[in-house]
Every structure is written in C-alpha cells, then in structure tokens.
Structure 1
Amino acid sequence: MLCKIVSVTRKKRDGSVPVYLNVYDLTPINGYAYWVGLGVYHSGVQVHGVEYGFGAHEQPTTGIFEVEPKHCPGFTFRKSILIGRTDLGPKEVRIFMEKLAEQYSGNTYHLITKNCNHFCNDVCLKLTGKPIPRWVNRLARLGKRGLQ
C-alpha cells in the first residue's frame, strides 16, 4: 500500500488525519518581510503529533529529524497551516519517512535547490496531494533563477 501512495503525488486525498505545515522564522527581519511576501523560513510537517523536518549536516546519513510540534530548536514559530488530510496511520507515516530518508541525507541539503521547504512540499504532496503555500519557499525559487 505504501508504494501506491508514494507513486501518486498529485491526486487529492480525503483522509481523517490532519497534516499541518509548521512555519518558522529564520530571522527577525521576517516580521517586516512577511507582509510584502518575502522572508526566510524553516518548515516542518506535523502529522500524528510528530513534526518532521530536514536539515543539513556533513554525513551521508538522513537529514530528516523529529521534534515536538511547533518547537523546532533554533527557530521562532510563526504559524501552522492545515495542508490536508491523510489516511496513513502512525506506523505507515514512520515507514514512509524512513523510505524518504534515502533521498534526504544531510549532506545533500542545499539552501536553494533542496532545503527543508522542498522536503515539506514533497511530504505534503505525497500525504495529501496538496503542495505547501508558494510563499514559504519563494526566496529559494528566486535564488534558483539567479543560478541559471
């Protein structure tokens, strides 16, 4: 069953378990930049009372981590956004994250092309069929245009 869910990424799903995107400020400047549609954000996906995030380190091991929802160390919580719902149970979500860990090792983190917001978008698409709001990763998209 997990393979079917992973392979279908754009289909909307109606489930019973809410999936939230928790958004954090990386800098106090976001207090001003947020209102003009800019800002530098960290995000995590909350499901079944666990928040999953992605971060950088130098090892070829997973960069996916778990934290208490809305309490990611080093960041200031801004808001929680209901993205959609899933029917996956806690064990199924855990198996899904362990499989996803193969693609998200800490040494593959890149601020512009593969950051925490990219991770959250992938997770939300696969769990709910819905993407995260575009403003959350807007600066990375603008940066990517500058690299091209």
Structure 2
Amino acid sequence: MASATESSSDASESSDKSGCEVYLHVYDLSENTKWLADEFSLKDYNCGAFHTGVEVYGMEYVFQYYANEPDNNELSGVSAQIPRTDSAYVYRTTIDMGWTNYSNDEVHRIIYEEMRPQWIHNTYHITKRNCVHFSSALCRRLGVKDVPDWVFGAAKTADATRGISALADAAWRAAKYWNSYYYNDDDDGESTGRNEVDPETTTVTFPYHVQQ
C-alpha cells in the first residue's frame, strides 16, 4: 500500500523491467463545481463533474478537445503534462490504480502509437467520450484497476438517461458550432496543449496525498 506522503513519481525511478505504480489524478472543473460536489455530496450519488489524468512513469496523460481546431481530424487530444499542474482545473485527489508490468518504453508505445491515433481531439464528447473515458481506457490497457463510478459522475448518469443524453448531445453540438464560428482562420492553432511537456526529458519529484 502507498503511504499518504509517497510521491507517485517515485515509481518512475523503478526499473523498467519491474513496471511501476499507476495513479489517477481527479480534478473538479472549477471552484464552483467543487463547492457543489462537497456541499451536496454529489460524489455519493454519482452526480459530480470531474476531469482526470493518468500518471505513469512520472508523467500525466490527459484527453481534451481543442476549441481552436474543431475541424482538424488528425490532431490527437492526448497530451502529456507534469502531474497535477493543470491550472484549468481544481485538484481534488489522487487514486492508486495499481501496478502495471509494462516498461517505460512499452508504455510510451502504448500511448503514442496506440492511444494518440485513436483519441482524436474532435471525437471528444462531454458525456460519451471525455477525459474520464480516456483515463478508463488507458488504465485498462495498462492492466490496472478501472476508474471508479463516482469519477464518471454526472456524465455516466446523463448518458444513461435518454432525455438528458439528448440534451447533452444538443448542447455539445451547439458548443462546437459556436467554437467554429468564434475561432477564425487567422488562428494558426499552434498552441494545442495546456502545460504539455516532453516525457523523455522531464522528471517529477514532489509528494502528494494518495487515496487508496
């Protein structure tokens, strides 16, 4: 069991042959959604709204939609970042997902040769194919535990309810249409990742709480 003060990035120091620990970082979408989730115990009813990223070998991998590239069918939504540094969200907790037996090189191939081509940014959907779905797919591919139901939260609940699912579809189509209108052709789209870093040259050495 990992201690409360153990840095998940310590796993990156393990031998490639022995694998490493995998962590799920969970974020609230904003201070407002965090307050709502805490005040009304939305987590207990699987009604929260969360962003997630999977940390393996000291890097955190996320999936997102790039609003300035709505028609780019080749741009992957998968990017790497230093764990817990995404300032667009409010960090909530870290969950120990278990041990992967894959080496660092094998994980790199899984993410960059398998996952990135499969997870194109504009296939993102707020309830059907979001960052939590990506985290779930990556965790299963790494052979560790799946994402808990409470993390899927309101997205899974909405998708299982016909009326709400239809409303979510309409809202997402409207949002994408607005993005297409808002971002003009002068935007070169070069800025496509929040805090994206090169996993080959970055090391992480800070501790944080791990939820068992």
Shift of residue 120, structure 1, vs aligned partner: 0.1
Aligned residue number for residue 199 of structure 2: none
Show the 5 A alignment for 1:15-54.
16-28=19-31, 29-34=33-38, 35-37=41-43, 38-54=47-63
Shift of residue 114, structure 1, vs aligned partner: 0.2
Q: Secondary structure of the residue that 1:84 maps to in structure 2? A: strand
Task: Please point out which of 102, 105, 108 is paired with 2:123.
Answer: 108
The answer on whether the counterparts of 1:50 and 1:68 sit within 8 Å (CA) in structure 2 is yes
The answer on whether the counterparts of 1:83 and 1:128 sit within 8 Å (CA) in structure 2 is no
Unaligned stretches of 5+ in structure 1? 1-14
Query: Residues 129 and 49 of structure 1: is their aligned pair in 2 closer, same or farther, counting only changes over 3 Å?
Result: closer
Distance 2:76 2:42 in 1: 34
The number of aligned residues is 134
Aligned residue number for residue 123 of structure 1: 138
Distance 1:72 1:95 in 2: 24
Distance 1:129 1:49 in 2: 16
Over aligned residue pairs, what C-alpha RMSD do you find? 1.5
Unaligned stretches of 5+ in structure 2? 1-17, 167-212
The answer on whether the counterparts of 1:42 and 1:117 sit within 8 Å (CA) in structure 2 is yes
Shift of residue 73, structure 1, vs aligned partner: 2.9
Scaled by the length of structure 1, the TM-score of the pair is 0.84
The answer on whether the counterparts of 2:36 and 2:42 sit within 8 Å (CA) in structure 1 is yes
Say which structure is richer in strand.
1
Shift of residue 31, structure 1, vs aligned partner: 3.0
